[in-house]
Structure 1
Amino acid sequence: MTLVMNRPQDAFGPLLKSWRNRRRLSQLDLALDAGMSQRHLSFLETGRSMPSRYAIRQICEALDMPAAEQDMMLMSAGFAPQSADAAWSADVRHAVEASIEHVLKGHEPFPAVSVDRIWNLQRANETAQRFFAIAGGTGQPNLLREVFAPGALRDNIRNWPEVTRALFRLLDLEVARRPHDEQGQTLLTELKDLPGVAEAIAERPSEHPAPVLSIEFLINGAELNLFSLIATVGMSMDATLDDLRIETLLPADEATREWFCALGR
């Protein structure tokens, strides 16, 4: 993600103001939350003053900004992004990757995958690879494209409209968190243009929806019901780590549990 600018002071102020307006905060409210004077915040927005790295950190925390947007805020003021701090990030990334691998393997004999913020597949446990192949997956690296696009996998999902509506909403919320994420915005538009997707997301949910979304598959005559848990790396200040998601699929009934246990034998 890059930001085009002529001079840092031409970019930071408007970016700060856009995020303050996005959070619906007055200059006084944000100044109090960030621990600075309203006068200083006003000068930062107009470009009369340039922020320190510490001030940017305080403002970003007060605005509850995602790590990638914090990096953009730093770069707009002429600083290196915090994600480029290799002194600690390499060790942390290694520990996180090892932990993700542990979770994926430990979730056998049920499917588990690691994806980024827009559902590009990073890793998958053995069961997930076998299951998606059996279910009609094509190997498309983006799981949302795989599920939304016409094909065998989509045909094998009995409640495809409900699943599509739920997944589209998750992506929409992710894109809303990052107004400068062009990749996410492009994918959102692309998915909506696929056959049947616009109609699916426009449908109203039932009056009494289930407490969790169950993904219902019909594969070779077997009815399989799964629901998902999605985990993230907590309080990450690194944009790459902040992108990571782990989705674990769990059986919603005993028949599904037995089917996967048999698959793993």
Structure 2
Amino acid sequence: MTTAQTSAGSLIREWRTRRRMSQLDLAMEADISQRHLSFVESGRSAPSRDMVLHLAEQLEIPLRQRNQLLLAAGFAPSFGERQLTDASLAPAMAAVEIVLKGHEPFPALAVDRHWNLVAANAAIGPFLANVVEASLLTPPVNVLRLSLHPGGVAPRIVNLAEWRAHLLDRLKRQNDATGDPVLVELERELRTYPSGLKGNRPVPVEPNAIVHPLRLAHGDAVLSFISTITVFGTPLDVTLSELAIESFFPADEQTGAALTRLARDRAAKAP
């Protein structure tokens, strides 16, 4: 019994526990015997490369962590990890730019696995106005930190308590799914920021709401947004699998009209 085998089994057990699956549940999903899975997890049986990848698929383990699992089992990683500037990712990055540009006059941005800003369109301006803590805009710009920091966008978020709870819930679910220590530390940091609530009052929930809106003060107006997340459908590269585009849409006619006016103003000032 090798350390690699024991480590691989421990990782599989850890991911199974994180997914709240029993050994029997995973064995049935993977179409293997519970006895075999038990032997793999305990290190009494060394899983093949195909078995490692098969179990990782059933557990919906992210590509980065699948590579780690393969290494623990004594195999080479299956999924490449390239820099976003790598020539082989140029078509994918071009697609990101098309999506961002095509979403104008509404804001959209792309982030990596740690919520660091990768790219944004020209309509993102209202989100960056009046940020008083300059370090928040120093690359790499962390979008969640920028949003919730008291020196960032937070003072202009009209429904800060609700939006903060929404973002922290998203981050917690991402932590539960990936176990990324950087995100765990980010969540811990963000929870120390002001909540927008006095005392122990619960976060308000709007009656009949179907999505979490973002309401942002901009000048004398309040811009109201709903958002969607877009990811690549079948990535085989780690970096690409961790890239996400968040697109903001106007939640009311006034916001749509205001964003259209801002776009016209930008066009008029362009050289």
1:247 Cα deviation from its structure 2 partner: 0.6
Q: Of 10, 28, 35, which aligns to 1:14?
A: 10
Give the match for residue 177 of structure 2.
177
1:134 deviates by: 2.7
Asked if the contact 1:119–1:143 (Cα under 8 Å) also holds between the matched residues in 2, the reply is: yes
Counterparts of 1:147-226 in structure 2, within 5 Å, are: 147-151=147-151, 153-179=153-179, 181-196=180-195, 203-206=202-205, 208-226=207-225
Task: State the one-letter code of the partner of 2:222.
Answer: E
Task: Quote the residue 1:260 is aligned against.
Answer: 259
**CA-to-partner distance for each residue in 1:78-117, whole Å, 9 max, x for gaps?**
222222278xxx7873332121111001011111100123
Q: When the two structures are superposed, what TM-score results if normalisation uses the length of structure 2?
A: 0.84
Find out whether 1:63 has 2:59 as its counterpart: yes
Equivalents in 1 of 2:177, 2:215: separation in Å?
29
How far apart are the structure 2 equivalents of 1:173 and 1:32? 25
Decide which of 115, 118, 129 is 1:134's aligned counterpart. 129
- Is 1:46 equivalent to 2:42 in the alignment? yes
Query: What is the Cα-based RMSD across aligned positions, in Å?
Result: 2.6
Asked if structure 2 preserves the Cα contact closer than 8 Å seen for 1:27 and 1:38, the reply is yes
Q: Distance in 2 between matches of 1:258 and 1:8?
A: 59
Cα 1:91–1:198 change in 2 (3 A) is farther
Which secondary structure state, in structure 2, belongs to the residue aligned with residue 110 of structure 1? coil
Note closer, same or farther for the CA distance 1:23–1:257 as it changes in structure 2 (3 Å cut): closer
Q: Secondary structure of 2:172's match?
A: helix
Please, which moves more after superposition, 13-22 or 197-206? 197-206
What is the Cα deviation at residue 151 of structure 1?
Answer: 2.4
The CA deviation at 1:198 is: 8.8
Q: Secondary structure at the match of 2:114?
A: coil
* Alpha-carbon displacement from aligned partner over 1:151-183 (angstroms, at most 9, x marks no partner): 26222111111111111111111011012x111
Specify the code of the residue in structure 2 equivalent to 1:187: L
Aligned residues: 255
Helix, strand or coil at the partner of 2:52? helix
CA distance in 1 between counterparts of 2:96 and 2:102 reads 10
SS at 1:185 equivalent: helix
Instruction: Name the amino acid aligned to 1:161.
Output: A
Q: Secondary structure at the match of 1:50?
A: coil
Q: Is the 8 A contact 1:136 1:152 kept in 2?
A: yes
Q: Which amino acid aligns with 2:129?
A: I
Instruction: Describe the SS at the equivalent of 1:230.
Output: strand
Percent of counterpart pairs with the same letter?
Answer: 38
Q: Give the corresponding residue for 1:3.
A: none
Secondary structure in 2 aligned to 1:264? helix
Shift of 1:74: 1.1
Q: Which runs of 5+ in 2 are unaligned?
A: 265-271
| 1:217-241 alpha-carbon deviations (Å, 9 max, x no partner) | 2221122111111112224343322
Contact 1:213 1:227 in 2 (8 A): yes
Task: Tell me how far apart the structure 1 counterparts of residues 98 and 242 of structure 2 sit (CA, whole Å).
Answer: 18
Distance change >3 Å, CA 36–CA 143, structure 1 → 2? same
Distance 1:69-1:222 versus aligned 2 partners, 3 A rule? same
Is the Cα contact below 8 Å between 1:161 and 1:201 reproduced in 2? no
| Distance in structure 1 (CA, Å) of the matches to 2:88 and 2:204 | 41
Secondary structure of the structure 2 residue equivalent to 1:204:
coil
After TM superposition, the structure 1 = structure 2 runs for residues 98-117 of structure 1, keeping only pairs within 5 Å, are 98-117=94-113
**Deviation of residue 197 (structure 1)?**
6.8
Matched, 1:73 2:72: no
Normalising by structure 1, what TM-score?
0.85
